[in-house]
Amino acid sequence: MNITQSLKMAVKSIMSNKLRSFLTMLGIIIGVAAVIALVSVGQGAASNITTQMQGLGTNLLTVNISGRGVATSLSYEESLTYAAVPGVKEVSPVISGQVTAKNGTDNVTVQTEGITPEYETVRDYHVQAGRFILPIDIEYRQRIALIGTGTAQDLFGTSNPVGQSVLLNGQRFTIVGLLASKGSSLQSSNDDKILIPISTAERLLKSKGVRSIYIQAQSTDTMDSAMNLIKAKLLNKFGSEDAYTVFNQQDMLDTASSISNTLSIALGGIAGISLFVGGIGIMNIMLVSVNERTREIGIRKAIGAKRRDILTQFLIESVTLGALGGLIGVGIGFGASKLVGKFTSLSVSTSWNIVLLAFCFSLAIGVIFGIVPANKAAKLKPIDALRTD
């Protein structure tokens, strides 16, 4: 007997008891749908975190100086010497603080950073209109500013802010550039900020010295060695490891993605358990079905069905149940993750891998949990099977 014939028999038998077949499949349907939906949410969160991290800049080290004793900061000139550390590509010292920005009657408190031109490449910030801060602005302590899209909206509404002036803590600054939108990162919105030359910032914020430096390594490979050299240099300067912290963006990225991977696995595992329970449901119903159809098995054997024929018939039946449940589950899981993506703030990414995996798993469950009942059916003796009603 060939496979198509067995498949026809299996489908016929499944269709002859639709409600029961559906209830049997329900476990698999829910399991597969749950695996796909939950893992999609998990992976969505993971890719979200990764993009946010990468939004901070690539190959980025962040040095924060909290200060101990006499030395609580680096001078601007000192901070630039870190560019000479082997493995370092560029250095972007930053002086930051809160400033009241005012345009006419609108005023907002906004995060303001005093920066150098290197900030553009190190932090990956670009202007969408106007120009970036130039070395000459630093040299002459120009009162110019770059404005983030969020702050620009607050102060200027929809009109073009470039060329207009803004009052920062009462001092008049000319806006020379509008920053490109970067979205929000883990800490805060990247678009609610004002950037000014670092030399101007020292005065405006009344903060002498640099407390944070963004350092870009030449490549991912040089990052660790550069970080160690920087740490050594900082230790030499401050004499205590407590005076500063150095963050490695890659470390944070790794930590974050390992957390979200763990999340995905945990969610997938929970859903996998329901898939397993669904498999037990299939086995249960198949065993009942074998009992109910003992006579049918006897008749089939009497007219010439071999053990293998009966085995494949029941096995194909349970695999078909698994596959059908898997297909419906894929549909529902896919739909559910699309709905979650549409109606909640969670970002969702459904990979075909997980869809395929969940489907194959449901097939495998059909086989594994079908073997015991199918074997039981195949082993029935024809006379015993014919004797029962």
Partner 1 sequence: MSSPQPLIQISGLSHWYKMGDEELRVLKDVSLHIHHGEFVAIIGPSGSGKSTLMNMIGCLDVPNEGSYRLDGQEVRELSDNRLSAIRNEKLGFIFQQFNLLSKLTALENVELPLIYRGLPHKERRMLAEQSLERVGLSSRKLHRPSELSGGQQQRVAIARAIAGKPSILLADEPTGALDTNTGKEIIQLIRELNEQGHTIILITHDLTVASQADRIIHIQDGVIAIDGGARV
Which of these segments, 134-142, 269-277, 325-333, 375-383, binds partner 1 (CB under 8 A)?
375-383
Half-sphere exposure of 4 (CA within 13 A, CB side): 0
Answer yes or no whether residue 296 interacts with partner 1 by CB under 8 A. Answer: yes
Shortest Cβ distance from residue 5 to partner 1 (Å)?
6
3-state secondary structure at position 93 = strand
| Residue 99 near residue 204, CB atoms below 8 Å | yes
- Among 3, 5, 24, 216, contact with partner 1 (rule: CB under 8 A): 5
Q: What residue spans of the chain are helical by DSSP H? A: 3-15, 18-55, 76-80, 119-122, 135-139, 149-156, 198-204, 220-238, 249-292, 294-302, 307-343, 352-379, 382-387
Q: What are phi and psi of 359, to 5 degrees?
A: -65, -45
Which of these segments, 143-151, 230-238, 253-261, 306-314, binds partner 1 (CB under 8 A)?
306-314
The residue to which tokens 């998990």 are assigned: 42
- Distance (Å, rounded) from C-alpha 53 to C-alpha 72? 28
Shortest Cβ distance from residue 353 to partner 1 (Å)?
39
Which of these segments, 153-161, 199-207, 303-311, 339-347, binds partner 1 (CB under 8 A)?
303-311
Question: Which residue, 126 or 308, has its beta carbon nearer to partner 1?
Answer: 308
CA proximity to 35, closest of 295, 354, 277, 363: 354
- Among 251, 309, 341, 371, contact with partner 1 (rule: CB under 8 A): 309
Which of these segments, 9-17, 82-90, 210-218, 340-348, binds partner 1 (CB under 8 A)?
9-17
- Distance (Å, rounded) from C-alpha 235 to C-alpha 238? 5
Binding mask 241-280 for partner 1 (x = CB under 8 A): ----------------------------------------
- Among 123, 182, 193, 300, contact with partner 1 (rule: CB under 8 A): 300
Question: Which residue, 167 or 386, has its beta carbon nearer to partner 1?
Answer: 386
Site for partner 1 in 213-232 (CB under 8 A): none
